[in-house]
Structure 1
Amino acid sequence: MTRVIGLISGTSVDGIDAALVDVVGSQTDLQVQLVAGETFPYPAHLRSQILSVCSGEALSVAQLAELDDAIAQEFAAAALTVQAKYDKAELIGSHGQTVYHRPTRKGAEGEKGRFSASSPVPGTEMGYSLQLGRGALIAQLTGITTVSNFRSADIAAGGQGAPLVPIVDACLLAEPNLRLCIQNLGGIGNVTYLPAASKGENKGESEISSLGDGILGWDTGPANSLLDLAVQHFSGGTKTCDENGSWAASGIPCQALVADWLKQQFFSQPPPKSTGRELFGADYFDRCLLEAQAYHLSPADVLATLTELTAASIVHSYQTFLPAMPDRVLLCGGGSHNLYLKGRLQAQLHPVEVLTTSEAGLSVDFKEAIAFAVLAQWRVRGIPGNLPRVTGARTPVLLGEINSCWHSWA
């Protein structure tokens, strides 16, 4: 058993999710127990700065360094606090805070991401993803070996660097007789598709390629990002989210706008694909708000329409790219608490059952943090953590950089 702390702050920038986890096994025999979980909000000024950077605000190198250190200090404090009442963790897996994500773009000849510096594939651009909160500083501040910068190795291998959680979903949530979709509703939505019996009984721990057979995953588009921006706009900054979706529930969605917004190129782009606030952020929201004016929508109507876009884009993604519709959808992330959004998903997916990962035994609030705790354990054990069929990478790779303190891993 390894006691690991998983840390992540998602694209909603709500705060740092910290999960203290006992990890047993590795892949097909993986078991996790959540010992403690807590979300630590950023100080208001730091959250505001992060959101500004995510929206494209320019920074000097010195300012970037200061922001990187400030985030690392908050992550280290979260790690120390979440384990304060328990035996000390042996390892930290820190995803960090994404402030920029540029997906790999494939050219006509680059479907498999085969490019090099000397002979790049025409039209292909290598991806880039920046997560702040440097692991070396977290390791020094906590005295715990820290794995960080999980996305870079997959991107270097031609992948999107995202999503990385599907393989952990497969190990923890797969059902032998059900097709499942694990739908994360953070700032950006992403899905893991698990075919029935994807967690086979005869697969050895090292057979990552076999474990990944039939598993799919990609970013579905906006989840909470546009909703949070709308709430902040209409409340004059006094609110940051639509609690339980109650504000949106009082409005009427404009289906004509939803149909128009679904024409955005990202929604029809086949996987592998990933996105972020660079696309579905403040500029996108401003365009949505401008287009909504022609329909004379109230603030509640705009929120209902943006919620409908989230639900409709998820359903469109399933119908377009899955080999078969799921038997059950398990929601996780902050958006799983949005009862109006959950209801719209249930209505559009009927008769598919819509539950949460908590109902399947895995916390909706800390599932992503748990996943990076697992990925950190795999990294120090030398187990590749990406699924090439999901990210588009050429090969399985070890994910994350190991930042040791005084103790090293064999």
Structure 2
Amino acid sequence: MTRVIGLMSGTSVDGIDAALVDIFGTDLDIKIELIAGETYPYPPEIRERILEVCQGKAISMVELANLDDAIAYSFASAAINIQIGHQQATLIGSHGQTVYHRPLTEKGEGKLGYSLQIGRGTLINHLTGITTINNFRAADIAAGGQGAPLVPRINAALLSDDSEARCIQNIGGIGNITYIPVRGGDWLSKIRGWDTGPGNSLLDLAVEHLTDKAKTYDEDGNWASTGNPCFDLVEQWLSQEYFHLPPPKSTGRELFGVDYLHQCIKDAESFKLNSADFLATLTELTAASIVNSYRNFLPQMPQRVFLCGGGSRNLYLKHRLQHLLGTIPVSTTDEVGLSADFFEAIAFAVLAYWRHLDCPGNLPAATGAMREVLLGNVWDGVMV
């Protein structure tokens, strides 16, 4: 057994999800036990700075270095706090904070994608005294992959089934899917995964816009649930090129961010939607883009869908997904013993564990990489 801390902050920049887990076994034959999970909000000034950088605001190298350190301090603090009252961990897996993601869209000589996560692992190691692994996406990108999504191999290890084909749908700021066929034979080569498009990103930005930042999200989807989606507008938005690109593919705020929201607001003007209608329509876009993605790119529809991530708590979004999927049951990973709230933090704990054991962490069928590779840079200096 190895006790590992997983640290994750996603596209929504809500804060740092920390998971303290015990991991047993090796490679795909692993089991995990969640000891503690907690979300630690960023200090408001750091969150604001991150969002500015993600939205393309220019900063100096000095400012970038300072932000890199500030995020590392926040991550280290989360790692220290999650252990209070528990046996200490021997390993940290830190995703860091993505501030820029440019996926590989055209394969060819001299072409690679690019993805930048800051919150440097060497400082987290220095502050905690715990071996820290970070920069998980770089090796997959170096092997010709998208660097995302990285959760499919974890999903295969923890959520595959001997009799049921499943989709694991993470809904963070961006949505991503893992399709897992029935376990057996060459099932691993048939797993598929990609970013489906916006998850909570446009919804959260819209709530901030509509409330002048008094609110940052629509709790349980309650506001959106009082509105009526404009299906003509959803169809218009679904014509966006990304939704029609075949996998492997990945995306982020660079596409589904503030500029995209402003275009959505402009598109909605002629439909004279009230605020609730607009939120309901954006929710429908997320739901429809997910389901259309299944229908267009999966070898077959799944027998069950499990949700995880913050969007799994949006009851209105979950209702719309269930409506669009018909008789295919939609539930959360909580129902199979894996925390929906801390699933991605758990995933990066597993990736760190695999790196520690020299096990590959990517799944080429999902990322488009040429081969399986070890993921992450290892920092194991001594705290001073």
Partner of 1:45: 45
Of 273, 295, 308, the residue aligned with 1:332 is: 308
3-state SS of the aligned residue for 1:8?
A: strand
Deviations 1:309-360 (A, max 9, x none): 0000000000000000011000000000000000000000011000000011
Please say if residues 22 and 32 of structure 2, whose CA atoms lie closer than 8 Å, have aligned partners that are also in contact.
yes
Q: Select between 24-33 and 307-316 the one with higher mean Cα deviation.
A: 24-33
Partner of 1:166: 152
Partner of 1:101: 101
* Residues 45 and 352 of structure 1: CA distance in aligned 2, closer, same or farther (over 3 Å): same
CA distance in 2, matches of 1:339, 1:3: 33
3-state SS of the aligned residue for 1:212?
A: helix
CA distance in 2, matches of 1:350, 1:74: 43
**Matched positions, count:** 383
- TM-superposed CA distance for 1:213, in Å, is 1.8
CA distance in 2, matches of 1:275, 1:57: 19
Percent of aligned positions with the same letter in both sequences?
61
Of 330, 351, 364, the residue aligned with 2:327 is: 351
Alignment of 1:59-208 (within 5 A): 59-106=59-106, 110=107, 115=109, 120=110, 125-197=111-183
2:227 matches 1:241: no
CA distance in 2, matches of 1:61, 1:28: 41
Partner of 1:10: 10
Partner of 1:204: none
- TM-superposed CA distance for 1:22, in Å, is 0.3
CA distance in 2, matches of 1:26, 1:241: 38
Letter matched to residue 217 of structure 2:
C
Unpaired runs of 5+ residues, structure 1, are: 201-209
CA distance in 2, matches of 1:160, 1:87: 36
CA distance in 2, matches of 1:173, 1:289: 39
3-state SS of the aligned residue for 1:59?
A: coil
Letter matched to residue 139 of structure 1:
N
3-state SS of the aligned residue for 1:213?
A: helix
CA distance in 1, matches of 2:335, 2:27: 22
Partner of 1:317: 293
3-state SS of the aligned residue for 2:190?
A: coil
CA distance in 2, matches of 1:365, 1:27: 24
CA distance in 2, matches of 1:211, 1:296: 49
Q: Select between 235-244 and 211-220 the one with higher mean Cα deviation.
A: 211-220
CA distance in 1, matches of 2:265, 2:382: 53
Deviations 1:147-195 (A, max 9, x none): 0000001001110000001001010011111110000000000000000
CA distance in 2, matches of 1:364, 1:146: 24
Partner of 1:27: 27
CA distance in 1, matches of 2:226, 2:72: 40
3-state SS of the aligned residue for 1:237?
A: coil
CA distance in 1, matches of 2:381, 2:161: 39
Letter matched to residue 136 of structure 1:
T
Unpaired runs of 5+ residues, structure 2, are: none
Of 344, 361, 368, the residue aligned with 2:344 is: 368
Letter matched to residue 104 of structure 1:
L
Question: RMSD of the TM alignment (CA)?
Answer: 1.1
TM-score, scaled to structure 1: 0.92
Deviations 1:37-58 (A, max 9, x none): 1000001111111111111111
3-state SS of the aligned residue for 2:146?
A: coil
Q: Select between 238-247 and 19-28 the one with higher mean Cα deviation.
A: 19-28
2:189 matches 1:213: yes
CA distance in 2, matches of 1:285, 1:348: 24
- TM-superposed CA distance for 1:236, in Å, is 1.3
CA distance in 1, matches of 2:81, 2:11: 23
Letter matched to residue 81 of structure 1:
N
3-state SS of the aligned residue for 2:339?
A: coil
Letter matched to residue 175 of structure 1:
D
CA distance in 2, matches of 1:171, 1:157: 22
2:327 matches 1:341: no
